[in-house]
Amino acid sequence: MIVVNADSVKADDRPDVLIKTLFSETHIEGGRATFGVVTIPPQARIPLHGTGSHAEDEYSLVVKGSIITGVGGKEYRLSAGDAALIPAGEAHWAYNDGDEACEIVWVLVKR
Protein backbone atom coordinates (compact mmCIF):
# COMPACT_ATOMS: atom_id res chain seq x y z
CA MET A 1 0.00 0.00 0.00
CA ILE A 2 1.14 3.55 -0.74
CA VAL A 3 -0.28 6.39 1.37
CA VAL A 4 0.04 10.06 0.43
CA ASN A 5 -1.23 13.06 2.40
CA ALA A 6 -2.56 15.68 -0.03
CA ASP A 7 -1.31 18.51 2.20
CA SER A 8 2.27 17.25 1.80
CA VAL A 9 2.17 17.11 -2.03
CA LYS A 10 3.63 20.06 -3.93
CA ALA A 11 1.14 21.68 -6.28
CA ASP A 12 1.78 22.18 -9.99
CA ASP A 13 3.26 25.58 -10.73
CA ARG A 14 0.13 27.47 -11.84
CA PRO A 15 -0.96 30.95 -10.83
CA ASP A 16 -4.71 30.41 -11.22
CA VAL A 17 -5.59 27.03 -9.67
CA LEU A 18 -4.08 24.50 -7.27
CA ILE A 19 -3.51 21.11 -8.94
CA LYS A 20 -1.95 18.25 -7.00
CA THR A 21 -1.12 14.89 -8.56
CA LEU A 22 -1.32 12.40 -5.70
CA PHE A 23 -0.54 9.25 -7.68
CA SER A 24 0.75 8.87 -11.21
CA GLU A 25 1.04 5.79 -13.35
CA THR A 26 4.69 5.57 -12.28
CA HIS A 27 3.68 4.60 -8.72
CA ILE A 28 2.77 1.07 -9.84
CA GLU A 29 4.39 -0.96 -12.60
CA GLY A 30 2.01 -1.10 -15.54
CA GLY A 31 -0.16 1.64 -14.02
CA ARG A 32 -2.70 3.25 -16.33
CA ALA A 33 -4.13 6.00 -14.12
CA THR A 34 -3.18 9.35 -12.62
CA PHE A 35 -5.08 10.54 -9.54
CA GLY A 36 -5.25 13.96 -7.97
CA VAL A 37 -7.18 16.92 -6.63
CA VAL A 38 -7.73 20.41 -8.01
CA THR A 39 -8.87 23.50 -6.12
CA ILE A 40 -10.40 26.19 -8.31
CA PRO A 41 -10.73 29.53 -6.48
CA PRO A 42 -13.73 31.82 -6.97
CA GLN A 43 -13.74 33.52 -10.39
CA ALA A 44 -10.92 31.26 -11.68
CA ARG A 45 -11.04 29.36 -14.97
CA ILE A 46 -9.18 26.26 -16.11
CA PRO A 47 -7.59 26.45 -18.56
CA LEU A 48 -7.11 30.20 -18.35
CA HIS A 49 -8.16 30.60 -22.02
CA GLY A 50 -9.81 28.28 -24.54
CA THR A 51 -10.22 24.58 -23.83
CA GLY A 52 -8.06 21.68 -22.72
CA SER A 53 -8.15 17.97 -23.40
CA HIS A 54 -6.38 14.79 -22.32
CA ALA A 55 -5.29 11.61 -24.05
CA GLU A 56 -6.99 9.77 -21.15
CA ASP A 57 -10.60 9.52 -19.96
CA GLU A 58 -11.17 11.97 -17.09
CA TYR A 59 -13.34 10.93 -14.15
CA SER A 60 -14.07 13.63 -11.58
CA LEU A 61 -16.05 14.13 -8.37
CA VAL A 62 -16.88 17.58 -7.01
CA VAL A 63 -16.33 17.40 -3.24
CA LYS A 64 -16.83 21.09 -2.37
CA GLY A 65 -18.45 24.08 -4.06
CA SER A 66 -19.63 24.20 -7.65
CA ILE A 67 -18.44 25.06 -11.15
CA ILE A 68 -19.73 25.61 -14.63
CA THR A 69 -18.03 23.36 -17.17
CA GLY A 70 -18.20 23.34 -20.92
CA VAL A 71 -17.90 20.08 -22.88
CA GLY A 72 -18.91 19.37 -26.46
CA GLY A 73 -20.49 22.78 -26.96
CA LYS A 74 -22.77 22.40 -23.90
CA GLU A 75 -22.49 23.95 -20.44
CA TYR A 76 -23.18 22.06 -17.21
CA ARG A 77 -23.31 23.07 -13.55
CA LEU A 78 -21.56 20.57 -11.28
CA SER A 79 -21.96 20.83 -7.51
CA ALA A 80 -20.66 18.91 -4.50
CA GLY A 81 -21.61 15.25 -4.92
CA ASP A 82 -21.76 15.38 -8.73
CA ALA A 83 -19.48 13.07 -10.72
CA ALA A 84 -18.54 13.47 -14.37
CA LEU A 85 -16.81 11.51 -17.11
CA ILE A 86 -15.11 13.36 -19.96
CA PRO A 87 -13.98 10.97 -22.72
CA ALA A 88 -10.39 11.11 -23.97
CA GLY A 89 -9.80 13.90 -26.47
CA GLU A 90 -12.97 15.84 -25.57
CA ALA A 91 -12.23 19.58 -25.34
CA HIS A 92 -13.43 21.09 -22.06
CA TRP A 93 -13.09 23.97 -19.60
CA ALA A 94 -14.32 24.85 -16.10
CA TYR A 95 -15.13 28.17 -14.40
CA ASN A 96 -15.88 28.81 -10.74
CA ASP A 97 -18.55 31.51 -10.78
CA GLY A 98 -19.22 31.13 -7.05
CA ASP A 99 -17.81 32.79 -3.95
CA GLU A 100 -16.11 29.71 -2.46
CA ALA A 101 -13.34 27.45 -3.74
CA CYS A 102 -14.39 24.36 -5.68
CA GLU A 103 -12.52 21.13 -4.91
CA ILE A 104 -12.55 18.27 -7.38
CA VAL A 105 -11.01 14.81 -7.08
CA TRP A 106 -10.00 13.53 -10.53
CA VAL A 107 -8.61 10.42 -12.19
CA LEU A 108 -7.13 10.22 -15.70
CA VAL A 109 -7.32 6.66 -17.07
CA LYS A 110 -5.55 5.42 -20.19
CA ARG A 111 -7.71 3.23 -22.41
Q: Which domains does the chain have, with CATH numbers?
A: 10-105 (2.60.120.10)
For residue 28, what pLDDT is reported?
Answer: 78
Maximum pairwise Cα distance, the chain: 41
Q: How far apart are CA 107 and CA 85, in angstroms?
A: 10
Nearest Cα residue to 60 out of 105, 26, 27, 22: 105
pLDDT tens across 15-58, in order? 789 999 999 888 777 889 999 999 999 999 999 899 999 999 99
pLDDT tens across 47-103, in order? 989 999 999 999 999 999 999 999 999 999 999 999 999 999 999 999 999 999 999
For residue 51, what pLDDT is reported?
Answer: 95
